[in-house]
Every structure is written in C-alpha cells, then in structure tokens.
Structure 1
C-alpha cells in the first residue's frame, strides 16, 4: 500500500504566513510587552556590567585604593538584584505566552477537527494529525515565547556593545567588527544546511508518529498474523532514517559551533595583543582593555545566537504552515449561514428551533461521486422511503452499500439532485439537527474510555441509570454487562479494547436505542454476535425499530427477509430493489447471492455435524 506523502514545507520566510498567527498572539499582547520591555532593559544591564569591571580596575586595582568601594559594591549589587528581578518577570511573562499560545493552538485544531468531513479522515493518517496538534503547536509556542524574545535581546545587545566599543576605542572596535562578516558567512552556510536536515527530521518524525499509532492500534492484527518482525523492520528503517538525518544535523553543529568559538578566540587574542600594546604605550587604560576583552569574548555568542534563532524562525514557519494547513481545511459538507443562524452549529446548537423528524426520506434524481473521485458511484437515483419503513441494503464487499447511508446521514452530500427529509431539502436544516436524530450502529463500533454505563449514556446524556439499564436489556446487552466484574461500572478500556467486537456492538446498539432517534442505521451491526444473541437481538430489533425509519446494511441475507424494501447494490449502482419474495421471484443478482449464501451456511452446518 502506498504511504501517505506529506506536503513539503520549504518556502522562504514570509510575514504573511506569520501574520496568520496574530489572532493567537493578540490576546497576550500585554505579556509580549512585558517580556520585550524587560529584555530591552536586560540587554542594557548586560552591556553595562563589564563597565563595572573597567571601573574597578581603573579606580581600585591600578591605583591600589579602596576609596568608594562600598558605593561601588552597593551599586553593583543593586544592578544584579534588578537584573534578577527582570529575568524573573520576563521569564514569567514568556512562560505565560508559551503555555497559552500552545493551548489555544491545540484547542483551535481540536475544535476544527470536529467540523471536518469524513473525506479528510479517509485520506489523512492519524499520526500526521497528531504531529500537527502536539509537536508543531509546541514548537510554535516555544519559538514565539522564547525565540523571538531572545532574538530581540541579542539584536539590542549586539548593537549596544558595538556602539560602546566605538565610543571607547574605534581601532579595537574595527578589529572585532571585521570578524563579524566571517561569522555571518559561516552562519548562513551552516544554518541553511542544518535547517535542511532539521526539516527532514521533523518530517520523518511525523511518519514515525503515524507508524507508531498504527502499530499500537493494529497490535491484535500484527500478533494474529505474526508480522511483528516485519513491523519491527519497517519501524527500524524509519527510525534509522531519522537517526541518519539527526546525525548529519549534529555533525554540522559540531563543526559550526567550534568554528565560531575559534573566531571569537582569535578576536580576543587580537584585542589582547593590540590592546596590550596600547596599554603599555599608555594610549589606553587597563580597565578599557578589560572591557574590550570581555566584549570580544562575549559578542560572538549573541551574534551566533541571533543567526541560529533566525534560522529557527524560518524553520518554524514550516510548523505554522502545517498547523494552518489543518485549520484552513474546508469540510466538504457545510451549513449555509442562514441555516447556522437559525439552527446553530455543533458547538452552539439552538435546539429550540429544531423540528421533530418523522423520517420520511426522498432521494430525488441523486447522483454522487466522492470528492477525490472521477466516476459517479450513484447516478440519477430516485427513491421514496416513507416514515417507519425498514430498508435493507445488500451487496458484496466493496459494492458501495455504505454510500447510501452516508448520504442519508449527510456525511456526504449529493453531487447532483436532492435528498428530502420530511419534504424539506436537508441542506436547509443543520447537520447537527439531522445527526442528533440518527442512531448509528457500526460493524466496528467505537467506545470511549470509561465505563459501560458512561458509554451507553452518550446516547442521551440526561438519561437515568434505570433508562440506561432498560436500553441494555432491550438489546440483550445486559447479559454481557452481568458477566463483567463491576457490571455497568466496568471500564471498557481505550476504544473498548477490553471487550470483544460483539460485546462492543451490543453496547453500541444500547446506546443508539437510548437516544430513541427517528432514523436508525445498522451497518453490519450483528456481524460479530453469536447466533443465540443475534436471534434475541433480531426479535428486539423488530419491536424497537417499529415506527422508525431504518436502513440496515447486511451481509447475512437471512437477517433481512422481513425488510419492507431491499436495495441490491453492485459496483456502486443499485441494480435491483423490492421485497425478499419479489427479488427471489425475479431470480436475478439477489437470488444468486441468497442461493450461494444459503448453500454455504448449509455446508457449514453439515461440517459442524448439525442438520439442515
């Protein structure tokens, strides 16, 4: 199977891309002002501190006098205290920015993910989504809170230091200034390459996250098929690729950083040689030389830091592009503005305006193709399903049975034509209004972490314990619950992992029944249930679905003989429709399917030693 190929993010620096982050930064502008203000102040203090050293040498050490030492000490201590307090308030503000921007970005993505259509999840691996929500948001928040502030500090510091050096001695200042272009050229050369490998590391990290997620969720399949070794080999190849990219980046850093330190040492040596001569000739005071040496040793670190942060700033743009790519994804199914105004949206429903659904459904000349497809899977299809009708949809695996129910549930919309519910085009009503009136029981149902009781209660959050237990009894789920150690208060595990598929189907069925929706969709809902339970469930289903419009996707044709209407799907097209008896009389495709399945079931009974 072809691997999902992630989009490349390698555009040059763009203020437009960063501008998309302003809505997330704006609420914390006060904290930005605090941390930037204190960093300007700190840059000034850091520049001034070496001047204390100069003053001490010229006024205490050289002249061998302690006159005024207490005033000097008090001033120095005061500066250190002010510096410490400034660092505290700056770090506190930066931490607030980091935590809140990261939280807001995660929340915005999580909320947006709730609105996206099925097609996005069909084409995007969970690992890539997880990397955007967790890793990318963390890096953006860290860069904004600390990187930008540190860049600002480094820029102010470097400019201030050169101004002071030129004021103290132009000749020595020029010596240090001449080395700066060398540092700049080296930085541009190395940082571009380091940036390239860092981007590759982050891309591979997304692939590893995706593979890790797939490996965990598919662990039962891996063990049953004994493919642990193959999984390990594939995972090893990905991690090895990340290792090689990380090593390349580390090697470049290992050459770059010592090279910068070498130039700093050369600058300090030149200043010491030139300055020593000038002190000897009494052209310069010893204290001034000590300031220059301090500046010569220190100045290249903020220059290096400035270059590194600039490269990281450009690199972080890729993280912003990835996050915004998710946030700018448009769902394929969107409510119109006037619909949202009346009915609300998923997060702000206006339930007082929701009409009760009777369940009368009309397909009116419906044609449909998937958003990424070229061919129609349904063409000029018309059908009237009166309220309360039981419709079965049958066909071989992959025939397109789920397409119809996905259209009914408005998880997809017709490409052409209309679907009417109670005589109104369902695009004139909200998605949430419709979804709240559909009870969906899947072949592989999803349970949330928590207890059995909590999972059934998702059907109707205000349901009492008695109503939950009654819903379970109605679908024979109580037999499963009673076998569990804590009954309804038993933990089902992540995604219901502590229960079998059949047990999850029963609990999912109870959840749907509790909601008492107008429309039921049962997608192979009894495929993993034993024969005895299935018989009990069919009896209950006949009673519970009475008066409700229902769509049943079935593989076992014996389970849908009592359906009011059977739709036979082949290659995405409805080729036959009618009741069970009518379709058998026609001796068409349905007759072939039914006969073949009957023969298979009969053979299985014979081999099992039963009777036909």
Structure 2
C-alpha cells in the first residue's frame, strides 16, 4: 500500500474512532447541524432578496408592496440573529464538554496503567496529550467541523440556486472548483505530515521543560546550565524549522484558494456584464451572481482554513487515542471483574479477607528480553513475617517487592497470596491491603490531614490521630501552628524529609494493610529521625507481612528473615544472628558497613 493511501486510511480511522467517543453528544451535533443548515439557508436567501429589490422595485420604480419586502427582510435578519446566538451557546458548551470527556478518559487510563508504562513514558509526553492536544481536538470538533458542514451546505444551496437561474453563468463561476479540489488533496498530505512532526517535537519540548524544572537543583550542583540550554536550543530550533514548514504550506495553500476563487468571481463578472449589456439577463441577476460568487467562495476559503487546522487536529487526535487505547500490561479478566469489580467500581462484599501468606512459585521475570532478572525463583513467606532484602544494585530486591505487590506480573510462574494465584483476585483487592513507604516520600498538595487520609478516605478523625501516633508523627504535627491543617506544599516541599517520611508512614498505616513494604524508607533521613522511625516500624509491622529493602543493615537486625540476593538468586537466608555466625556474604557486608559508620563518626567528631 502506498504512503498516500496509508496516511489517508489512518486519518479516516482516527476520526472514526474519535467520533465513537463522542456518542453522548450526538444530539448536540444534530442540533448544531440543523442550526448550521438553517444559517446557510438564510444567508443564501439574502442575495435572492437583493435581486428581487433591484428587479421588482428599483428597475420598475413600483414601491407599492415594499412594506412586505421590508417585513420579509427583517424576519430573515431576526432568524439569522437567533440561529447565530444558539450556535455560539451550544458550540461553546460542546467544546467544554468534549475537552472534559477526553481529559477524563485520558486521566482514567493513566490510573489503570501499570508501572512499566511510566518507566518508559516521559512526563512531558503525557502532559502534552492531556493539555494542548485535547484543546486542539475539542476546538476543531466544536467549531472547525461545524464550519466545514456549514460551508458544504452553503455551497450546495448556492450551486442549486445558481443552476436554477442560469446554467452557463453557473458553469463559468464554478469552473475553478476542480483546481481547488486537486490543490486541496495535494496540500492535505503535506500538511498532515508536517503537523505530526510538530506535535511530536512539542512533546519533547514539554518533557524537556518538566525535566529542567524537576532537576533544577541537580543541574546547578553539576553546573549543567549551559549544556541543558544548548540541548534545549536544539529542540526549539527543530520546532521552529518544522513549524515554519507547516506555516509555509498554509501560507501557500490559502493564497491559491483566494486566487482561484477570485478567478471564478472574475469570470462571473465578465460574462454577466456582457449578458446585461445584451439584455440577456437582468441587472438583479448579475448582482445575484456576484453576491453568490462571494458567498460561494467564502465557505471555500473557510473550508481551506478548517482543512489546514484539521491536519493539525488529526495529529493531535492520533496522539490522544494513542494514550486512551494504550493496552494494559496488567489487567483483571472479565470473570474476575464480574466477581470483585474493578478499580473504580469495587465489589468489596465479595473480597476475601487477606492473611498475608506470600509464595513465589518458579517465577521468572525480565524488564527486557535480553536481560533476565529472576529465573525459576522460589520463595515462601508466612503471614506476619518480617522479611529483609539485602543485595547489590540489580540483584532483584525491588523486583521481588514489585512482583509481590503485582505492580508487575511474572513472565513465567505464579505468585500466590494465601495459597491462591493473585491473578485470580482483583488488583484493587491486593493493593488495598498493601502499605508502601518509599525512600523519597511523595505528598500531594494540600494539608497534613488530607495527606494522611489519602490512605483511607473514609477514616475518622480518631483513626487519623491514632495512625499519626503509631507513626510517631503526632508530636511534630502538634508543634506546627496550624497542626493538621498545615499546608505541605507541592510534593511536600514545605516539610523536611523526615517529616514527610513520618506522614507517609501514617498514610500507609491508616489503611490498616496486611502487607507492608519499606523500600529504603530510612536511607535519606538523619540519625535522630531514623531512630524515631525505627521505633515506629517495630510497632507498625507487628502482625503484618512485611518486606524491608534496606541499605543500612543495622536497621534490619530484628527481621525474622534476611534474604541476601545476588543476580536474582537467594544466596543466604536466615536471621541476623544466624547469618553473622555463618560468616558469609552478609557477614562481610555488615562488618564492612559497621566499620565505615564508626569511621565516619570518628572523623566527624
């Protein structure tokens, strides 16, 4: 298949799929089309009224029935005003509602997508689709496509009236239309290609903005300002060049349309003037054709403008659909959803109570096929056990945790929760029973109260206070001027790292999870705060199955089992005492770290 037919087919399928999403607004579209056809009919009536005024009143100088003419003309103006007002009201509302629909669909899909999607997708890519692409497509749907319909209907009515009045004059006036069609088809292919390139680079620029802002501190500490600026200049220069190409195509296309339409009007004027001089047609008729020439080619020019915008909108529509139709790598089967519900409509009455037994049964996993992380991995954990995971970077610690939480799924083998393959339960059932505390805690804009309650939106005030006390966060909160109503700022930047960490603990606790994950939860805080958190951990993890991924080995001495990992294999398994007595890999790691910590204390004193 040629590139031309392939692109045309792709564009048609894109708009076909877009309109599937717009089925709730079909009544609005039908109403707007009726308004536009009415508007076109009324506008096409005015030149006929002008012809009648010239031939029946001005030429004959008989004004006996002029009042009826004035009344008819006034009615047309009144109807035109009403139709125009209704069009702007309904079309404006349609723009807002379609924009809301696509943003809602896009954000809903973002809630469903698994970790792997965010691993490989830049934030700027996502933001560009949810913002500028949605704006472009909603504007095109609510205004551009309707202008297209109005233009087409207007041209049909005018063509019918022209041929009804004078066929030869009509053929001369419309003789340029085939050239308009050919040029439009040619420029369509060119403009949609450049539009896709512009939108793609726009995403890259948005991503660069996002990275530049989020990594501002790192850039300054590494003195990367000039490097970042040069990299950004390359992107923006590329954007400028592609945008200029796109603008030039539009700049060439629109004058061609104007020139051809002017030729059509010139033909009508030339032949019409000749016909009037020979008394073949009346003065009113030539005025009618001149007015119709203007009216006919006005929608042609409007269609050309919309046509150019449509190419850009097509690129935006493709990108929106790409997000909305992104396949889910982790999803529940229909049977599971029927029983347990989904993330947005859970059927909690059917959820089994979780105990916390976890088993990895011949599990294999890779992020990419060339690099396997786990091979036939087996591990059995009893409910309530505290499991510490130790090993060098890339040994599989985080992978085991993410698989246990079903943030990823095994490529082979099974993960069992309470002796049942967790694929036979809903994702939300498992995730609702997991408390996860990260190395770098993320808080949402809002108050401390709101952030703690994100762990359980139905929690009472007493439950929130108890969770804060259990996490040892209560004391520092009481010292704040606004206490629970203290704003945490974007990402929690108004609080210290330790304070954010304590709140994230409270947020995890308030959900009362049976499985708890601590992923390097104390590695980025000071010794005093770490001691507070360690005391909290002892209380929090009691009776819960827990995984502790820790860099500081002194923080895991009380774990029920310490698993030492190397290249996805458990090379040592036991308590702190047992592994120290064994004097293997763990013993070496612990003693070396202990010596380093003591050396640091001596040097800093």
Match among 122, 146, 154 for residue 119 of structure 2? 122
Partner of 2:542: 546
SS at match of 2:22: helix
2:46 to 46, 49, 60: 49
Correspondences of 1:90-101 after superposition (within 5 Å): 90-101=87-98
SS in 1 for 2:372: coil
Cα distance, 1:257 vs structure 2: 2.5
1:417 aligns with 2:413: yes
> What secondary structure does 2:174 align onto?
helix
Aligned-residue offset at 1:366: 2.0
For 2:264, the equivalent position in structure 1 comes to 267
Aligned partner of 1:164 in structure 2 is 161
SS of the residue 1:284 aligns to: coil
2:332 is the alignment partner of 1:335: yes
Correspondences of 1:581-600 after superposition (within 5 Å): 581-600=577-596
- The yes-or-no answer on 1:565 pairing with 2:566 is no
Instruction: Work out the CA distance in 2 between the residues paired with 1:70 and 1:336.
Output: 73
The aligned counterpart of 1:497 is: 493
TM-score, normalization: structure 1?
0.92
8 A contact 2:403–2:409 mirrored in 1: yes
Residue 429 (structure 1) shift: 1.6
**Distance between the aligned counterparts of 1:345 and 1:184, measured in 2?**
50
Structure 2 residue aligned with 1:38, among 24, 31, 35? 35
How many angstroms apart in 2 are the aligned matches of 1:364 and 1:269?
Answer: 82
Aligned to 2:426: 430
Corresponding residue of 2:283: 286
Q: 1:502 to 1:399 in 2, by over 3 A?
A: farther
Distance 1:407 1:443, change over 3 A: same
Deviation at 1:311, TM superposition (A): 5.2
Scaled by the length of structure 2, what TM-score is found?
Answer: 0.93
391-400 vs 194-203, which moves further: 194-203
What is the CA–CA distance in structure 1 between the aligned matches of 2:361 and 2:263, rounded to whole Å? 82
How many residues in Structure 1 have an aligned counterpart in Structure 2? Answer: 600
Give, in angstroms, the shift of residue 313 of structure 1: 4.1
Q: SS where residue 362 of structure 1 aligns?
A: strand
Partner residue, 2:243:
246
State the 1:24 CA deviation: 2.2
The 5 A counterparts of 1:373-522 are: 373-522=369-518
3-state DSSP class of the match of 1:418? strand
Q: Deviations over 1:346-388 (max 9, x none)?
A: 1111212222222122222222223x43443112222221111
Structure 2 Cα separation of the partners of residues 248 and 483 of structure 1: 60
Q: Is the 8 A contact 2:188 2:311 kept in 1?
A: no
Q: Return closer, same or farther for 1:11/1:267 CA change in 2, 3 Å cut-off.
A: closer
How far does the alpha carbon of each residue in 1:129-171 deviate from its partner, in whole angstroms, 9 at most, with x for none?
2222233333333222222222222112112222222222222
Contact 2:199–2:316, Cα closer than 8 Å, also in 1: no
Are 1:316 and 2:310 counterparts? Answer: no
Quick one: structure 1 residues 443 and 199, their matched pair in 2 at CA, closer, same or farther if it must change by over 3 Å?
Answer: same
C-alpha deviation, 1:13, in angstroms = 5.0
Matched with 1:209 is 206
Q: Does the CA-based 8 Å contact 1:392-1:553 persist in structure 2?
A: yes
Change (3 A) 1:235 1:66: farther
Q: Gaps (5+ residues) in structure 1?
A: 1-8
Contact map agreement 2:471 2:540 (CA 8 A) in 1: no
Distance in 2, Cα, partners of 1:318 & 1:208: 17
CA contact (8 A) 2:254 2:305 kept: no
C-alpha distance in 1, partners of 2:524/2:476? 14
Query: Does structure 1 conserve the Cα–Cα contact (< 8 Å) formed by 2:254 and 2:304?
Result: no
Which residues in structure 2 correspond to 1:54-69 (within 5 Å)? 54-69=51-66
Gapped runs of 5+ residues in structure 2? 1-5
Distance 1:14 1:236, change over 3 A: closer
Matched, 1:153 2:150: yes
Equivalent residue in structure 2 for 1:225, among 214, 222, 227: 222
1:11–1:186: structure 2 CA closer, same or farther, 3 Å change rule?
Answer: closer
RMSD: 2.2
* Higher deviation after alignment, 79-88 or 21-30: 21-30
Matched, 1:183 2:180: yes
Within 2, Cα distance between the matches of 1:67 and 1:320? 58
Equivalent pair of 1:204/1:242 in contact (CA under 8 Å): yes
- 1: CA distance, partners of 2:9 / 2:506: 55
1:531 aligns with 2:527: yes
